[in-house]
Every structure is written in structure tokens, then in C-alpha cells.
Amino acid sequence: MANLIVLLDDNTANRIAAGEVVERPASAVKELVENSIDAGATQVIVRFDEGGKRHIEVSDDGLGMGAEDAVLSLQRHATSKMRTADDLFAIRTLGFRGEALPSIASVSHLTLATKSADEPAGTRVIVHGGEIERVEETGGRDGTTVVVEDLFYNTPARLKFLKSTPTEFARAVDAVGHLAIAHPHVAFRVWHGQQEVLATPGNGDPIGALTAVWGRDVARKLVPVRFDSPGLAVSGFICTPDLTRPGRSHELFFVNGRPIRNRLLGHALEEACRAMTPEARYPIGALFVAISPDLVDVNVHPTKAEVKFTRDGEVHHAAYQAVKDCLAERGITPTISGEAAAPSRTPTWQRSTTPSLPTAEFRALSRAAFEAFPPLQDYRASDLSDQSDRSDQSDQSDPSDPFQTAPAKPYSEQLRGFRVLGQARDTYIVAATDEGVAFVDQHTAHERVLYEWLTVKRAEMGALAQRLTTPFHLSLGASEAALLGQRLSDFVAAGWDIETFGKDAFLVRSVPSFVSRRDPESLLRDMIDELVHQSVARRLLVQRDHVTITNACKMAVKSGDPLNLPEMEGLLQQLADTENPYVCPHGRPIVVTIPFNEIDRRFKRA
């Protein structure tokens, strides 16, 4: 392999933000993992012992290094990632200073083993306290493994500064987790001793990485955000506002793949969510800023944990707008006229109670839905573009930002205040509210209700199954059968009693009580079909949930199902009882409200 690493000249080296690179195990592991990502790794395995204080090991399947580069890489200001100071404004890698390996090596026992694909043998370099002790040829596979033992063994002052093993461990795992979220194409596995503590799928899906790092409960409430402007795009995910955190642990920001701390972006996120976030709580979100490298200075902080934007205002605006647009589009808008909301910003979005038992209306509703035998229809996302255009305009014409002035009323309470006016196109429930006229998508609303039913209620009361007088057989295609086989327990949990019955065949003995009046066989086939052919967009959702979501969707009333008044009222009450009445399990909005000030404006009553 050609030598890639060069020593930076003094002028360039002097322009590099100076300071301590390695403060604790987390900073060492961060630097090592960054090197793996820069080396094009698709898999990175990290092992710690004692929170990284005793042992840190990072292995990757990246480019590796030739023998000369392996030795050079341990010298200060030796890097393959830039050449001259001018390059500082065109940095596309996570590293660029050539400082991490020598800094870590100077305060530990470090072994670097590396092999590039085009060389027959690999190289191992053994370093103690910065002194190279041995360079030897090794076998081994392509890629690089760095082992760091006894960090700070020769700097007792810094060793004393380290926190307890669990604290250092948590920071180290977080450091890897944040890089894993920023790089979903890379599969990460993290071990602490014998225990695997993190594994990301590495399939490019950011939700997969977020699920691994934040867990399913958070991940299933994430909704995508996005805002584009020339040279700058903000994308990412935020949690619906019913889930918040007591601190800023779940406010993550990334600039061109680099996890950073940034007050500006934090402010943008918190401001956009402000009216919906309870006092002393913080939103959950991961925002990815993609910006032309010449508009951001990454060389302002010794551990590269901060950046400086050339145009702060634009970045703030883009992040704020990305989040705000998302909330508005999904009907998560406390579009509140001042007097509508009691001045309580108390806890609000967090429901502590579980949904109540289904009301008679709800049962009637479910039954009605299946008596109608509506033809299966594709989802028809309500056409929001017109409406959102208008609300944009009204935002501009209204100098006071409703998000800042109006305290939020718990959304479920708002829902209970809805007065149903009727049904439009057998699709939308139209209701008068304190704030304006609301349109409720009956399908997404019912889907949300059923989804929570299937997840929450089934845990409390068991599945609501109903035995069939005559069981039916299903004979499926191989992939369908394989899939149903894998997911059988999820179906069972939803109220289906399905057992295998020979090759690719199944026997169905009970069905969820919701489907009583509908042809359960065709329903089940539709569901299986959808699970097999699920679109990529649907995969956004956590896999295990998918069966439940599909159940909820297929059993929900469809657009085109006529509903009577008690049915509509019943559905809204049920919706108010859900934990997350903002979006359907597929992430589509449930309620769109046209605020009175908008209606007034149209009637020239302003």
C-alpha cells in the first residue's frame, strides 16, 4: 500500500486547535472509532474492561495501513487526512490533526495491529508510554485493531481524575453510540467484559441505529424532520412531545457526520418544541446538519466536540424550521389562541394512566367498521400542502410566535373538547374546537387507538381473541410462510391463534375479536402480504412492532366507511385516551386544525 500519511509542516500544525485530546476513556475510544470510520470500516467492534480504564480495544475492517504508515501514524501531526492549512476548510473526515494516536499512545500501553488488503502481511507496533518498543510483522485479516491498556498509568494526576467505572463506562458507550447514530452504514458492536452492550445493524437506516442506542420505546415515537436550503440541510428525528427527558441527554446534534455539542442547535430544537415540552423537561431529538465544509470551522476545539458555523442564523433557522414544520404537519400544533389554554404548563404531555377499557361506542364502532366490508384502499394521505402553505403565511403575518406566547394545553384534553360537526367524504371527522376547526383522519385515528390497544391492553388483559367455529387453513408462499413463522408470536399476541400445519401451511383457530364480522381469512392474507412486501418507508418502524401496526391498520376503519355521531365521538374519546394521539403508528398525522385566526383572515375579519 502506498504511504498515505504525511507530517504536517509547522505552520499547519501550529494552526491546529491545541489542547488535551485524551481526557478519559470515552475520548480515547471516540478518537479510535473515528479513525475506523475514516478508514471506511463497515464493522467496528469495541471492547472495554473496567469502563475503559483497564482495556479499550477497537477493531475495524477498514483500509488498514502499510508498515511505514503504521509507524508514522504514531507521530504527532502525522495524518493522511490533510496536507496544508487550507485543507482545514474542506475537511470531510472526522480526524485531521494527526494527534490522537500519539496522544493516546503517550499515556498508555498501546498496540496497533494493521493490515491493508494489498499487502501480504500486516504490521504490529507495540508502544509503551509513547516509546515504540517493537515493530513486527503479523498475519491477521485486513483492517486495524488498536488496543489501549492501562490508560494514564504514567500520569497519576490524570488517573486520579477519572470517575467510577460505571460512569466512565457510560460515557464511553455514549461516545460510540453517538458515532453509531451518525454513521448508520457502519455496524457497531460494543462489549463490556463478557457483555454485549450495543449492537447497531449497520444497514444505513438511522432508525436502526437510534433504536439500538435509545431503545425501542423512544425509537417508536420518533418522527422524521427535514429542512433544506441552499448549501445546508437539516434532517433527523424528534420524539412526539409526550416523551421528554429530564436533561439534555437525548438532544443530539451532528454536523457532517460529526457528533457535536452546540448551543445554537440546542436552542433551535428546544424553541421549536417549547410550547409542548413541560417545564424543566427537554425534548428528544437527533438532528443531522449537512453543510458545505467551507461554511463550518471544525478546528475550534481540542476534542473536535464543537464547531463554529460561518452563518449561525441560517443554521438556527433551518433546525428550528425542520422541527417546527414537522410538528405542524403532523397536527402536533398547540395552535392556541391565548384564552383557550389555562396557564398551566404542568406535566401535560406525559400520561400516567393507561387507556381505559373500550366503551360501548367503541365496540359499536369496531363492529360497524367490519360490517361495512369496505374494499381495501390504499392510504390516501390527506392533502396538507394547501393548508400548510396557508399556515406559513399566517405565521409570517402574525408577529407574535404562537409557540412562544401560548402555553400548551394537554393535547388529550384538547381532544376531549372537540365537538363533532359531522363527517366529510366518509373520511374525515370534522369538529369544532376552541382553536379552530379540526379535521380528524378517521383511519389514522382508529389505527392509533387499535395500536395502543394491541400493545398496552394485550399486556394487561391478554389478547382479545375469539374462537372460530370452523378453523381455516392457510397455505402460503415460502417467503410468506417463513415470515409468518418468524412472527407467529406477535400474531398470537394480537389475538390470532395460528399454528403451523405442515410445510408452509397454517391452521387458524381464533381471530382478534375486532375482526369478528369481517372475513378474517382475507384480512390475514392482506396482512401477511403487507409484511412481506412492506415498503421501505414502512421499515422506518421498528420491525417487531410491524405486526402490531399492520394488525392495527388492517382492522381500523377505512376512509370511505360512514360513521354515525356516537361512533365518531367514541373514536375521539378513545383517541384522547391514547398515549400518543399525535401520529398514527405509520407516522402520519391524525388531526389537522385550521385555526380561527386563519379562518377569520380568509373572511377578512382580521
> For binding to Mg ion (CB under 5 A), which residues are involved?
35, 95, 100
Contact flag: residue 5 with ligand ADP (CB under 6 A): yes
Our CB check for ligand ADP shows the closer of 67 and 318 to be 67
Of 63, 179, 198, 284, which lies in the binding site for ligand ADP, with binding defined by CB under 6 A? 63
Give every CB contact of residue 378 below 8 A, 6+ residues apart in sequence.
none
**Residue 81: which of Mg ion, ligand ADP, none does it interact with, CB under 5 to 8 A by kind?**
ligand ADP
**Residue 144: which of ligand ADP, Mg ion, none does it interact with, CB under 5 to 8 A by kind?**
ligand ADP
Our CB check for ligand ADP shows the closer of 98 and 512 to be 98
Minimum CB separation from ligand ADP for residue 70, in Å?
8
Sign of CA dihedral 72, 74, 78, 80: positive
Give every CB contact of residue 243 below 8 A, 6+ residues apart in sequence.
217, 218, 221, 284, 349, 350
Our CB check for Mg ion shows the closer of 88 and 100 to be 100
Q: Grid coordinates standing for 249?
A: 441527554
- The b/e string for 510-549 (b: 16+ C-beta within 10 A; e otherwise) is bbbebbeebebeebbeebbebbeebeeebebbbbebbbbb
Contact flag: residue 340 with ligand ADP (CB under 6 A): no
Helices (H), 184-252: 206-214, 216-219
Minimum CB separation from ligand ADP for residue 580, in Å?
42
Q: Which stretch binds ligand ADP (CB under 6 A): 62-70, 322-330, 482-490, 511-519?
A: 62-70
Minimum CB separation from ligand ADP for residue 254, in Å?
18
Minimum CB separation from ligand ADP for residue 71, in Å?
10
Q: How far is CA 329 from CA 239, 332, 582, in A?
A: 14, 7, 10
Rounded Cα distance between 366 and 206, Å, is 36
Question: Which residues in the 17-46 window bind ligand ADP by CB under 6 A?
Answer: 31, 35-36, 39
Residue sitting closest to ligand ADP (CB): 95
Q: Grid coordinates standing for 63?
A: 483500509
Minimum CB separation from ligand ADP for residue 73, in Å?
3
Q: Grid coordinates standing for 74?
A: 504514531
**Residue 79: which of ligand ADP, Mg ion, none does it interact with, CB under 5 to 8 A by kind?**
ligand ADP
Question: Which residues in the 66-125 window bind ligand ADP by CB under 6 A?
Answer: 73, 78-81, 95-101
**Residue 520: which of Mg ion, ligand ADP, none does it interact with, CB under 5 to 8 A by kind?**
none
Give every CB contact of residue 533 below 8 A, 6+ residues apart in sequence.
none
**Residue 17: which of ligand ADP, Mg ion, none does it interact with, CB under 5 to 8 A by kind?**
none
Our CB check for Mg ion shows the closer of 5 and 100 to be 100
User: Is residue 191 within a helix (H) or strand (E), and if so which, with residue range?
Assistant: strand 187-192
Question: Which residues in the 140-159 window bind ligand ADP by CB under 6 A?
Answer: 144
**Residue 61: which of Mg ion, ligand ADP, none does it interact with, CB under 5 to 8 A by kind?**
none
Residue sitting closest to Mg ion (CB): 95
Minimum CB separation from ligand ADP for residue 43, in Å?
12
Per-residue DSSP letters for 160-188?
A: HH---HHHHHHHHHHHHHHHHHH-TTSEE
CB 430 within 8 A of CB 422: yes
DSSP 245: B
**Residue 65: which of Mg ion, ligand ADP, none does it interact with, CB under 5 to 8 A by kind?**
ligand ADP
CB 601 within 8 A of CB 394: yes
Rounded Cα distance between 307 and 288, Å, is 14
List of residues contacting ligand ADP (CB under 6 A): 4-5, 31, 35-36, 39, 60, 62-65, 73, 78-81, 95-101, 144
